[in-house]
Structure 1
């Protein structure tokens, strides 16, 4: 748990430094998911559930479960997008590095998702956390994926664009609109 807290603090308070550390670390899929992604992705799901459960408990539960599962799937899909796009921007096709970037970049969004329990203001905090996560993604691109700095912005925008399209497609296929 101390490692999780230290990593979250690093990703929020000093993301460039944290990315340098992450880039040097080996990655294993199962521990990364069970000790980091699954825990943090649950934060906005639980907060959303608690907010809606008072008025519509069944809807809140199903929404939280589906949203949580889609968040986990999004990490895999985003990692694959990053891996496939990297060579087009001067970086290597590195599945482990792509997984690191996809798993750690959403940290601020997941943590700020706890604020959703507060009506109206909470969504604003969560939105700011989401934008900050996009910024941390940008910071991680040259450090983790080794994409040249001059191509980092376009690579980040390409990843975001494709990820948004995939997210919309998944939500439409599952019948859940954004």
Structure 2
């Protein structure tokens, strides 16, 4: 069902969101059926890309990470994606009453899961971690994620378009704060020995 919804949200989001709203999955099922492997795509791709291909900022030579340093970073990234998704669902559930919605935590999890799908799939760009390629793919995925958010909120939360626009904008703002928080946590972890080591 997840794959069907995922493709439906991609090619006909207006229609598919109406179907997603009536799903009966629990939060745990969203994790065990969907997020546990979707969140693994980017860490696996980046682990392979940074250790086997190497990453480059421009036209210079490619720099590789050692597998020993890349593995814990990839694992931490994976855990951060899983936790971040859950945090976003909780925040959406916490904010909903402000915008006149009364959706369950499961519906909030559905919105978070399907909205995040383009960004999670974009993590496959990590197999070739050339900075401009990753940024280009990331921007396209982010644009579509924002589009899905603004089309999905009114449908999933069952609120008028105007309130849905304001709610989606609030969610987007919180999402950016969560992203900055994850980046800050990464810097702190680097200071505790999780820093990358380069192949010489």
The CA distance in 2 between the partners of 1:123 and 1:171, in whole Å, is 16
2:141 to 110, 129, 135: 129
Deviation of the 1:101 alpha carbon = 0.9
Q: What TM-score comes out, normalization by structure 2 length?
A: 0.79
Larger Rg over CA atoms: 2
Q: Are the aligned partners of 2:5 and 2:20 in contact in 1 as well (CA < 8 Å)?
A: no
Q: 1:176 to 1:9 in 2, by over 3 A?
A: farther
Unaligned runs of at least 5 residues, structure 2: 53-63, 191-200
The CA distance in 1 between the partners of 2:74 and 2:9, in whole Å, is 25
Q: Deviation per CA, 1:128-152, whole angstroms, max 9, x where unpaired?
A: 1122112111111011112321122
The CA distance in 2 between the partners of 1:15 and 1:113, in whole Å, is 21
The CA distance in 1 between the partners of 2:100 and 2:73, in whole Å, is 39
5 Å-filtered alignment, 1:156-167, equals: 156-167=168-179
1:129 alignment partner, SS class: helix
The CA distance in 2 between the partners of 1:92 and 1:17, in whole Å, is 21
Deviation of the 1:79 alpha carbon = 0.7
The CA distance in 1 between the partners of 2:8 and 2:91, in whole Å, is 25
Confirm whether residue 169 of structure 1 aligns to residue 181 of structure 2.
yes
Q: How many residues are aligned here?
A: 175
The more displaced of 93-102 and 132-141 is 93-102
The CA distance in 2 between the partners of 1:125 and 1:73, in whole Å, is 23
5 Å-filtered alignment, 1:13-32, equals: 13-32=11-30
Q: Are the aligned partners of 1:75 and 1:102 in contact in 2 as well (CA < 8 Å)?
A: yes
Q: What TM-score comes out, normalization by structure 1 length?
A: 0.88
1:35 to 33, 36, 54: 33
